[in-house]
Amino acid sequence: MKLKELITKYAWAEIRSALLRLYPDQEKSIAGYQHVYDMLLRLSAKPTPMAIMIEKYTDDFTDTPYDTVSGRDETGSYGIEFTDWSEWLGMDIDASTLAAYPELDIIAHCLWEMTFFGYSQEDIHKQLADFEHRRTSEKRLTLDEVKQALDLE
């Protein structure tokens, strides 16, 4: 099942309830999530070999459990928070995820992940461009410059 098929099965009120049950601190941002849901209903799904995987993890430092969303293909697992929403919609939901999570929870986790950097694709693209600019504009030091700065010679 593709994410687009899953999203169109449910009304916003059902998704809203699941989202706030899983992420109660997001009440203040619920209008942003509804805007994204409405946008996703209008977008076409773009075919992609990537599948959505949701897995339970436990934080090594706090022993706090959480769910993580990633994209998987035959080469590995990837963060997909910067992925175009049309591609999200075209991704299959991994069979193990469908077996382990209720459908409404899958949608809620995906909405939370896909909006991590904003509630519009433009906002997300700006964040990505900012990260890329900072990555490429920062001066990289040579080993000699590091030694000199640390006075290791």
Per domain, the residue ranges of the chain are: 3-119
Residue 45: count other Cβ atoms within 10 Å of its Cβ. Answer: 18
Whether residue 153 has pLDDT greater than 50? no
Per-residue pLDDT band at 135 (split at 50, 70, 90): low
Residue 62: count other Cβ atoms within 10 Å of its Cβ. Answer: 8
User: Distance between CA atoms of 108 and 39, rounded to whole angstroms?
Assistant: 15
Task: Give Cβ neighbours of residue 71 (< 8 Å, ≥ 6 apart).
Answer: 50, 51, 52, 53, 77, 78, 79, 80, 83, 91
**Average pLDDT value for residue range 118-140:** 74
Q: What is the pTM of this model?
A: 0.82
Per-residue pLDDT band at 60 (split at 50, 70, 90): confident
